[in-house]
Amino acid sequence: MWKVLNLLWILPGVLANDDIHLKFPTGFTIGASSAAYQIEGGWNASDKGVSVWDSFVHEKNWLISDGSNGDIACDSYHKYKEDVDIMKNIGLKHYRFSLSWTRILPTGLPDKISQDGLQYYKDLIKELRSKGIEPFVTIYHWDHPEFMSRLGSWTNEVMVEWFVEYARVVFRELGSMVKFWTTVNEPNNYCEQSYGGKKQAPGMDLPFFGNYLCLHNLLKAHARVYQIYNEEFRAKQKGKIGIVIPCRHNFPKVENDTESARIAFEFDCGWAANPIFSKDGDYPAVMKQRIKENSQLEGLPFSRLPEFSPYWINLIRGSSDYFGLNHYTSKMVEPVPRNNGTPWYQDSGVRSFVNESWPGCPTDWLRVVPEGLGGVLRDIKEAYKNPPVYILENGVSSYPGIADYNRIEFLYGYMKSMLLAMNRDGCNVKVYTVWSLLDNFEWDRGYTERFGLVEVDFNHPNRTRTPRLATKWLSQIIAKGKLIKLQDTYLYTQPPPPQPQAAAMFMPFFPLIFSFVILRLTGFVS
């Protein structure tokens, strides 16, 4: 009898929700992110060189949705102090931004180092630190020197050593002020879009060849930079260095089809992550097998997926102090039937698609699936033995205006999914970062999509900034150290509907009544 009574009191808390898990752990920080080409402007300020994105938007502007460019963008090159003040007012604890390769090395090589370019980043870092905001610095976010694109860009292995020399200058000049480094942003997405397609710079459009070569060389470049940081800078600078990988969660169309979800994860996330975080230190076995089989069917004497030598396997394996994660959305997956003698569909043999019931947003490729973030965190935990995960991009575009209720709903849902994965399931997440601080140049989408916590008026010569409602909500959850729904804050102005007086009288007994009904239905009591 006492056991039953105990269940009656405990069950409501178990069934009601997971709110007990919604506190941020001690030391956990929330920040915002950006990228150099997307916000800085100043494309030809001082002695800055021409980047691949500078030339791409000037020569192929028809590939940008609104024909725009990043020549001025948010003008953060001149307005960085205002941006830091906004971050301070929100209460953000870290800021992830990237460096412009050609702002620091105008020719792309260390024969000429721009003191003006270096000073800009030194001033930005000092301003952040003066306001108690930790700089998270990305060395490469897709904007290499233009001349390198004429030599094949990342399909050419010579890029590896050029990137190493650039990184060495960066560590030497900025490393004393930076404790958190990212080598490369989203190598798999970047290679798919820019080398497997043509809509993003350098737009090489070499599907199933260029994308594989690109990522192969980027992983080598990342590992070499990790190596020189270890050998030349870590002992004195004592920072962390890693890579950022975009990963989605995959829901099988047929509930028990775990194989399709696993293969989709390997071809999406594992393509870049497996060589670094797995004990094998190589591409996923299923990728190697299926791409090799397809290559043979195409009459090729080699696999389109390049092979790592033992030297590179050993150098790449373990070359990250953390798992940098960018996550926005999820997919449904199903296998594509294959007969003998026919190729694997899209090399993977798995079709990915959108569940039409998932809510959308102003961005057509982004469906809102909060449980996907918790899902991919558990995927990473299982696949790579629970490494420390730094979420460095997660966000959604909003509708016109500053009342971005859809962004608050998105952030609440995704952060709740993250906290459940952390506090209930033991996933090792250290930070959460919103993409993005400001509305910005969204690559081939131009200024047609607004991902910013802060609205930017791109028609105003001063690029006027206006914080959106989500900044006030973020301020509250950061200050309280726990996740709070919008309607539980002073920002929510709509009064709740009045409770009938009779219902109010019995409200304290609802949990007991509800528990008794559940126990009757499940047969615990008769």
Catalytic residue set = 186, 393
380 with 373: CB under 8 angstroms? no
User: Per the structure block, which two tokens stand in for 346?
Assistant: 């899209």
Q: How far apart are CA 262 and CA 189, in angstroms?
A: 19
Unique residue bearing structure tokens 């997956």: 333
Q: How far apart are CA 181 and CA 242, in angstroms?
A: 6
Q: How far apart are CA 469 and CA 488, in angstroms?
A: 14
Q: What is the dihedral of CA 27, 31, 36, 42, to 10 degrees?
A: -120
The candidate with the shortest Cα–Cα distance to 180, out of 228, 127, 134, 113, is 134
Q: Any idea what the Cα angle at residue 325 is, between residues 142 and 330, rounded to 5°?
A: 100
Q: How far apart are CA 227 and CA 247, in angstroms?
A: 25
SS3 letters for 67-93? Answer: CCCCCCCCCHHHHHHHHHHHHHHHCCC
Q: How far apart are CA 337 and CA 488, in angstroms?
A: 50
Distances (CA, A) of 142 to 6, 120, 189, 233: 58, 19, 11, 24
Distances (CA, A) of 20 to 16, 23, 376, 384, 423: 11, 7, 22, 28, 9
Q: How far apart are CA 262 and CA 461, in angstroms?
A: 49
Q: Which residues neighbour 109 within 8 Å (Cβ) at sequence distance 6 or greater?
A: 162, 165
Strand partners, 333: 252, 352
Cα dihedral sign, 376-379-383-388: positive
Distances (CA, A) of 267 to 97, 196, 260, 327: 28, 15, 11, 16
The candidate with the shortest Cα–Cα distance to 186, out of 144, 230, 140, is 140
User: Per the structure block, which two tokens stand in for 406?
Assistant: 């859809």
- Cα–chain center distance at 48: 28
Kindly report whether the peptide bond that precedes residue 436 is cis, defined as omega within 30 degrees of 0.
Answer: yes
- Cα–chain center distance at 180: 16
431 with 415: CB under 8 angstroms? no
